[in-house]
Amino acid sequence: MDYTGCRLFRIAAPGKSVDFLFPVYYYAQKHGSAMILEVKEILQVLDRFIGHYPIYFYLVDSRNTIAWFNQYMGQNLPEMRLGQPLECFKGFSPCPEPCAECLPAEKKFTHAKVEKNLLKARVGPAGTERYIEFFNLPILQPDGQVEGVLRLGIDVTEDEKLQEALRETEKLFKAIVDTSADAVIFLDNEDRILSWNKGAEEIFGYSAGEIIGKSIQMLVPKEVLDFGELDYLHEVLSAKGMVKKFETRRLHKNGRTVYVDISCSRVYDENGNLIGTSEILKDIEDRKHLEFELLRTIHELSKLNQLNEIIHRVYDEQDILRIILIAITAGEGLRFNRSFIIWVDKKEQMLTGHLAIGPANPEEAKRIWGELHLNRGFLKDIVQAYKIDLEGADRGVNEIVQRVRVPLRRRDHILIHALHQKQAVQVKDRQILGSKFPALTFDIDDTNLFDILASDTMVIAPVYSKKEPLGVIIADNSISRREISIEDVESLKLFANQASSAIENARLYHALEERISDLQNAYRQLAENQEKLVRAEKLAAIGEMSAKIAHEIRNPLVSIGGFARLIEKKIAEPEKTRKYAEIIKDQVDNLENILNNILSAANPPKPQKRAVAINHVIEQVVEMLGTALQQRNIEFSAELQETSLPIFGDERLLHQAFLNVFKNAIEALDGRLEGAMIRVTTRPCPEYVEVQISDNGPGIETGLISKIFQAFFTTKSRGTGLGLAVVQQIVESHSGRIEVKSQPNEGTTFYIRLPFATEAAAETVEK
């Protein structure tokens, strides 16, 4: 090769251009400049080293024809020819033959800049479509004139496909964000809004233009901001990287708050630097509204249920009315400010103000509601704690309600109408709401309902039982002026119905109670009368007979007794005769006692009362029974405590009573061979003296105890069954009581209590 010198030329690379000094040789060439030839030579050499790289590499001279291409290009584009005009090679799809259109033109290149462009072409033997990115590197003469272009192409099909997919996804995302009904926004690290979609515009009212660049705080209500919600969200974001469905409130452009749920997450760039936060805010206004509605309904129902439970457990009508009033006004109840009960007065044929609750004026309201608030608990606690105070807190309203009086016959009066039609009426600014009402009046005497209650807006609800109208409830909000809603009216109506049924229940309950007590009384009286009748009949029958017999045998008995005593005295000897006489005397005493009992039972004698020392009577009885006790080997003990007061009674009858009890004790010990005991005690108590007479005989069977005081009841073959009946009769005629305690096989104790003489009685005795 013939080297004729060096030549400086320049290849421009992106961003800078490099000058090369190459040894070049000249030889004549028809086309192309010497410089292009030089470059060609170099490329030729280069291609030997990098020819196996998948790089497209070709050279275009200043006439726009292909001056050189590398091996790789030749393999992949077999149609390519040297000297072919570039135009003919458009888009890597060369024309089969050089055509007129693309014949080399005599125009010079002017592209002095480095450029990059992307070509889509069919390449390779199979002619598959590929993306090739080309760098155009102009070859410049030192004076800057363009000599040609070196083009370097790299297959970027895979990258390009990825990019395309990415662009598609981006488009998709954009479409989703654009059409989303939710607000999708992006915040930078200073919480400034960077993007704002249509959804956001709809939910918050701001256009993108109005809000982009502004702080997110613009959308947060002040109290939420003060509460520190944004800090909290930042904390959660830092800790977890995301927040899911956080329910809160945000501000609309018009100042209204909107319920939203927020989901947000942090966004990082490819190097892991935090670039901001994406936020999706969903409008949950409708759902919240439903939720509130549901909650309100549940609350209302549970409230009514609570009221129902309380009210149906009370049977006092006044208490029910009081509970009604509290329930209508108290915190957990229907929350009216004031409530009045106007009740039917059947006797006067009037609807009359009866009871009221609530503050008379705003000052009182503060105090009363403060109190109720303090003791706030469940309604049942309030009901229990709060008594309607007719002297203090509720006096004002109760004075007011007394002034409401409307005759029942005034059917054109609003209250009477509500009562008779069983219809609740809502009044607003003195006008009845709803059109189905006839012309009604509000007049009461020379004034009217509104002026009396000092209220123009109220609800009137009737209370009635199945049988008859009972009254009306009036409720208002005259203190707080809170509007009465449809729900309030409905709740009051429901509640008034419950109150009606509670009152009806209470009335039925009382009627039933009265009937039961009447029946019980009637039954008791019947039983008493029957008992009296039976006793009277028995006594009458026996009385007649026994009186006759008694009279018949009394006289002979008396003389037998007298003679027996004579014998006893006169004949000390022989011993046997004295014993017989003793027996005659005992038997006569016995007979006399029997007779006395028969006579007393048949015809109870009226006690001849005077002061009696009870211990003395007992001592006499014991003395009389001394022989009998000795004969039967009965151990007898007495503990008679002194009583400072006497008994006011009939000594003879008391003697008879104690004698009967002692006799029973002796008889009870009859079968006992040893260890038989009788014990008597007297014990003074403040108002009476108690005499206890016990024996350790066989006792009384539990089932028989209730019968032993009945006349003619006896378990003995030779008993009369009159002893205890007479004892009871005598004790009761002395205002005393007799009781018995007995344990089978252990013994029996009789307790006889006799009241001491009162001073007045004692005095009558002394005179």
What residues line the site for ligand ADP (CB under 6 A)? 660, 664-665, 668, 695, 697, 700, 708, 713-716, 719-725, 748
If 0-12 CB within 10 Å is exposed, 13-18 middle and 19+ buried, where does residue 630 land? exposed
Note whether 34 and 23 are within 8 A (CB). no
Min CB(721)–ligand ADP separation in Å: 4
The CA-based angle 327-332-337, given to 5 degrees, is 60
Quick one: which of 418, 459, 460, 462 has its CA closest to 437? 418
Min CB(745)–ligand ADP separation in Å: 11
Min CB(670)–ligand ADP separation in Å: 10
- Which of the listed partners (Mg ion, ligand ADP, none) does 708 bind, with a CB threshold of 5 to 8 Å by partner kind? ligand ADP
Min CB(697)–ligand ADP separation in Å: 5
Task: State which residue has the least CB distance to ligand ADP.
Answer: 723
Looking at the DSSP bridge assignments, the partners of residue 55 are 154
Min CB(646)–ligand ADP separation in Å: 27
- Which of the listed partners (ligand ADP, Mg ion, none) does 665 bind, with a CB threshold of 5 to 8 Å by partner kind? ligand ADP
Would you say 649 or 723 has its CB closer to Mg ion? Answer: 723
Would you say 493 or 535 has its CB closer to ligand ADP? Answer: 535
Token pair, residue 138, equals 């102009």
Would you say 555 or 717 has its CB closer to ligand ADP? Answer: 717
Min CB(757)–ligand ADP separation in Å: 28
DSSP state for residue 214 in the 8-state scheme: S
Quick one: which of 751, 750, 747 has its CA closest to 685? 751
- Which of the listed partners (ligand ADP, Mg ion, none) does 748 bind, with a CB threshold of 5 to 8 Å by partner kind? ligand ADP
Would you say 64 or 597 has its CB closer to Mg ion? Answer: 597
Would you say 79 or 670 has its CB closer to Mg ion? Answer: 670
Looking at the DSSP bridge assignments, the partners of residue 716 are none
723 counts as binding Mg ion under rule CB under 5 A:
yes
If 0-12 CB within 10 Å is exposed, 13-18 middle and 19+ buried, where does residue 669 land? buried
721 counts as binding Mg ion under rule CB under 5 A:
no
Neighbours of 171 (CB within 10 A): 10
Token pair, residue 271, equals 């190097």
Min CB(616)–ligand ADP separation in Å: 23
Min CB(742)–ligand ADP separation in Å: 7
Peptide bond into 574 cis (omega under 30): yes
Q: Which amino acid is at 664?
A: N
Token pair, residue 616, equals 């003395």
- Which of the listed partners (Mg ion, ligand ADP, none) does 714 bind, with a CB threshold of 5 to 8 Å by partner kind? ligand ADP
What x-and-dash track marks residues 642-681 binding Mg ion by CB under 5 A? ----------------------x-----------------
The SS3 call for residue 5 is: strand
Calpha distance 604→95 (Å, rounded) = 158
Would you say 199 or 723 has its CB closer to Mg ion? Answer: 723
Min CB(661)–Mg ion separation in Å: 8
Token pair, residue 112, equals 């002095």
Calpha distance 743→591 (Å, rounded) = 31
Note whether 711 and 719 are within 8 A (CB). no
- Which of the listed partners (Mg ion, ligand ADP, none) does 668 bind, with a CB threshold of 5 to 8 Å by partner kind? ligand ADP
- Which of the listed partners (Mg ion, ligand ADP, none) does 695 bind, with a CB threshold of 5 to 8 Å by partner kind? ligand ADP
Q: Which amino acid is at 103?
A: L
| Element of type H or E holding 520 | helix 486-570
Token pair, residue 275, equals 């670039």
Min CB(571)–ligand ADP separation in Å: 34
Calpha distance 414→391 (Å, rounded) = 30
Q: What is the CA radius of gyration of the chain?
A: 63
Quick one: which of 123, 24, 118, 106 has its CA closest to 65? 106
- Which of the listed partners (ligand ADP, Mg ion, none) does 720 bind, with a CB threshold of 5 to 8 Å by partner kind? ligand ADP
- Which of the listed partners (ligand ADP, Mg ion, none) does 700 bind, with a CB threshold of 5 to 8 Å by partner kind? ligand ADP
Would you say 305 or 590 has its CB closer to Mg ion? Answer: 590
Q: Which amino acid is at 245?
A: K
- Which of the listed partners (Mg ion, ligand ADP, none) does 721 bind, with a CB threshold of 5 to 8 Å by partner kind? ligand ADP
Calpha distance 36→60 (Å, rounded) = 9
Would you say 455 or 597 has its CB closer to ligand ADP? Answer: 597
- Which of the listed partners (ligand ADP, Mg ion, none) does 177 bind, with a CB threshold of 5 to 8 Å by partner kind? none
Would you say 121 or 665 has its CB closer to ligand ADP? Answer: 665
| Counts of helices then strands in the chain (DSSP H, E) | 21, 28
Calpha distance 355→342 (Å, rounded) = 7
Quick one: which of 293, 290, 267 has its CA closest to 280? 267
Min CB(715)–ligand ADP separation in Å: 4
The SS3 call for residue 13 is: strand
Segment lying near Mg ion (by CB under 5 A), choices 108-116, 172-180, 261-269, 719-727? 719-727
Would you say 133 or 586 has its CB closer to Mg ion? Answer: 586
Would you say 156 or 628 has its CB closer to Mg ion? Answer: 628
Min CB(321)–ligand ADP separation in Å: 59
Min CB(738)–ligand ADP separation in Å: 11
Would you say 377 or 744 has its CB closer to ligand ADP? Answer: 744
Task: State which residue has the least CB distance to Mg ion.
Answer: 723
Pick left, alpha or beta for residue 197 (phi over 0 → left; psi -120 to 50 → alpha; otherwise beta). beta
Would you say 233 or 708 has its CB closer to ligand ADP? Answer: 708
Provide the H-helix boundaries in 51-195: 71-76, 157-179
- Which of the listed partners (ligand ADP, Mg ion, none) does 715 bind, with a CB threshold of 5 to 8 Å by partner kind? ligand ADP
Residues in touch with Mg ion (CB under 5 A): 664, 723
